[in-house]
A = this chain, B = another copy of it.
Amino acid sequence: MKKIRFAIAQFNPTVGDFAGNAERILEWVRQAEAQGADLVVFPELAISGYPVWDLANQEDFVAEGLRHLHKIVRATARWRVTVVLGFIDKAKPPSERSRNGQIWISRGKILGRHYKRLLPTYDVFLEDIFFQPGSTCRVIPWNGWRVGPTICEDIWDERYDEKPLKDLRAQRANLIVNISASPFYSGIDAGREALVRGHTKRYRFPMLYVNQVGAQDDLIFDGRSFFADAGGKILFRAPAFQEGLFCYDWNPGGANAAAPALEAPSRRIEEIYQALVLGVRDYCRKNGFDKALIGLSGGIDSALVAAIAADALGPERVLGIAMPGPYSSKGSWEDARDLAERLGLEFHIHPIREAYEALLQIYRSQRVSERKSGTDASEITLAMENLQARLRGLHLMYLSNDERRLLLSTGNKSELAMGYCTLYGDMAGGLSVLGDVLKTDVYRLARYRNGLKEVIPAATLEKPPSAELRPDQRDGDSLPPYEVLDEILRLYIEENQSRGAILRRLGKRRVLPEVVRDTLHKVDHNEYKRRQSAPILRVTQKAWFGRRMPITNRFR
Contacts and interface: CB of A to CB of B under 8 A. Distances in A.
Contacts of A64: 555
A478 interface: no
Contacts of A428: 423-424
A409 to B, nearest CB: 10
For A14, A51, A129, A283, which residue has the most chain B Cβ atoms within 10 angstroms?
A129
Interface string A472-489: 000000000000000000
A15 B550 contact: yes
Contact of A386 (B126, B401, B535): B401
Nearest to A552: B286
A16 B521 CA distance: 12
Nearest to A370: B403
B549 A498 contact: no
Nearest to A499: B60
A470 to B, nearest CB: 14
A398 interface: yes
Contact of A555 (B55, B57, B121, B350): B55
A397 B424 contact: yes
B424 A402 contact: no
Given A58-B496, A424-B424, A550 B402 contact: no
For A216, A282, A402, A498, which residue has the most chain B Cβ atoms within 10 angstroms?
A402
A177 B496 CA distance: 34
Copies in the complex: 2
B368 A552 contact: no
Given A129-B122, A553-B15, A363 B398 contact: yes
A18 interface: yes
Contact of A547 (B16, B54, B381): B54
A399 to B, nearest CB: 5
Interface stretch (A204-212, A309-317, A455-463, A525-533): A525-533
Nearest to A13: B554
B549 A54 contact: yes
Contact of A15 (B14, B535, B554): B554
A133 to B, nearest CB: 12
Contact of A55 (B51, B217, B549): B549
Nearest to A57: B496
Interface stretch (A265-273, A354-362, A445-453): A354-362
Given A55-B553, A60-B498, 8 more contacts: A14-B554, A15-B550, A17-B554, A60-B555, A216-B550, A355-B362, A368-B399, A391-B394
Interface of A: 14-18, 20, 51-55, 57-61, 64, 121-122, 126, 128-129, 216-217, 282-283, 286-287, 348, 350-351, 354-355, 358-359, 362-363, 366-373, 381-383, 386-387, 390-391, 393-395, 397-399, 401-403, 423-424, 428, 430, 496-501, 528, 531-535, 547-556
6 nearest CB pairs, A to B = A16-B555, A17-B554, A383-B401, A424-B424, A369-B402, A59-B498
